[in-house]
Structure 1
Amino acid sequence: MTYRSLIALPLAALVAAAPVVPAQAQTQAGDLASVQRFLQALTTMTADFTQTDRAGKVLTGTLTIKKPGKLRFQYQKGVPILIVAEGGSLTFVDYSVKQVQRWPIKNSPLGVLLDSNRDITRFAKLVPTGSSGIVSVEANDPKHPEYGRITLVFARDAAAPAGLMLQGWVALDSQSNRTTIRLTNQKFGGTVSDQTFRWNDPRSKSGRN
């Protein structure tokens, strides 16, 4: 099991799960600007997640984000993997084989969520959803297709940051491995300790990062 197979349900499943609101005229520029404001307003977020890979395997767990640059996928009990972003790196840990893989977060589609300085309006486009209550944005770096792409799915929600509730995303890597993350119980702006992003290194005797 590799990171690429984990972070890479079709988009339609996310759209179907989101609430529908009355139709309203929205321009592409306006919606992209709203997504940019959401990303800039996002400081911390916690949520439950359901992850589905292209083979249909489903895992669950808890997602924690703290900007700038920190993220943790804590998987359900019995799943010996962990994904953590901190210090500019994204780390995949497989405790079953005592393996650690690490690469720059900017080389991952997830970098879009963690860097408030990136202007998404310059490299992203809207994806038609068939629902006026849903905003879907696909982002990728055309100069680096090897980084993959991510499609973020939002539901319009006046109580959420910038009026958008992040429902989840679909990630596709350069080998066409697709993974869908669906979020529930999203909470924004709470206090999150930096200790949340520490992890045990299975390769070291001390067991600490």
Structure 2
Amino acid sequence: MTNKTVSDARMPVVASRRQFVLGTAAFMACAALPFPVFAAPTAAQQIADHFSSVKTMMGEFVQFGPRGEQTGGKFFIERPGKLRFNYEKPSPMRVISDGKNVVIGNMKLKTWDLYPLNKTPLSLLLSERIDLGNQMVRDVKQEADLTTIVLGDRTIFGDSTITLMFDPKTFELRQWTITDMQKKDTSVMIFNVQNGVNLDPSVFEIPYAEVHGQKRGG
């Protein structure tokens, strides 16, 4: 991945739990109609295939919420299905996907929210292969300096979509944006990325004992 300097990357702002749910690990209700099928240009499929071939990556990120709030931190991805976001202080948040579930944890309050991975748009980002020939493709746009691929599945997470933005020359992922049912965007820009790294399996372990043992309503 290309190293990228992001202004104000060290100015984290604590976002609410709802914004984490709607943004980083959006969980959407079902809707009736499938997305139309787009004919994917060959170049766009090549980019998607290149991204899918990267089995592990780690780096830094800056997340921009729908109201302009900004957080940063480090991320780890292992395909298929695994992801971890460690947010910088003062944010107490963690996001972990172990391939089956996604949890959003507040380390300060010791609270966790659990969602099936396949009910979130993150499942498309973390899939074994992004197939632009299937009905999950909402749109493909190719420009001189950017290739944008919009993915979604109304039968699973309603009108929520995930937009992937790639460098058309290097095939590197620059950013993704999750748009919720209220058309609010949460964007994640990644930089200082390393591909093909060896990641300890414990990075993606969800503390299920804490998740299921937490106190509710107290």
1:159-170 to structure 2, matched below 5 A, reads 164-170=171-177
Indicate the residue corresponding to 2:202 in structure 1: 195
Structure 1 equivalent of residue 125 of structure 2: 113
Q: How many angstroms does 1:138 deviate by?
A: 0.1
1:82 aligns with 2:75: no
For 2:194, give the aligned amino acid. Answer: K
State TM-score, norm by structure 1.
Answer: 0.76
- How big is the shift at 1:91? 0.8
Cα RMSD (Å): 2.4
Question: What runs of 5+ residues in structure 2 fail to find an aligned partner?
Answer: 1-15, 27-38
Distance in 1, Cα, partners of 2:152 & 2:23: 18
**Stretch of structure 1 that moved more, 168-177 or 180-189:** 168-177
Describe the SS at the equivalent of 1:35: helix
**Structure 1 residue 28 displacement after superposition:** 4.2
Structure 1 outlier segments of 4+, above 4 Å: 202-205
1:90 deviation in Å? 0.8
Check conservation: 2:159, 2:181, Cα contact below 8 A.
Answer: yes
Identity of aligned residues (%): 22
Contact kept, 8 Å, 1:32 with 1:125, in 2: the verdict is no
Q: Deviations over 1:132-186 (max 9, x none)?
A: 131100000132343711000000244xxxxx10001110122333101111112
- Cross-structure match for 2:21: 4
CA distance in 2, matches of 1:117, 1:154: 16
For 2:131 and 2:71, how far apart are their aligned partners in 1? Answer: 31
Query: Are residues 1:41 and 2:53 paired?
Result: yes
Q: How many residues align?
A: 181
Q: 1:102 aligns with which of 104, 110, 114?
A: 114
Stretches of structure 1 that go unaligned for 5 or more consecutive residues are: 9-26, 159-163
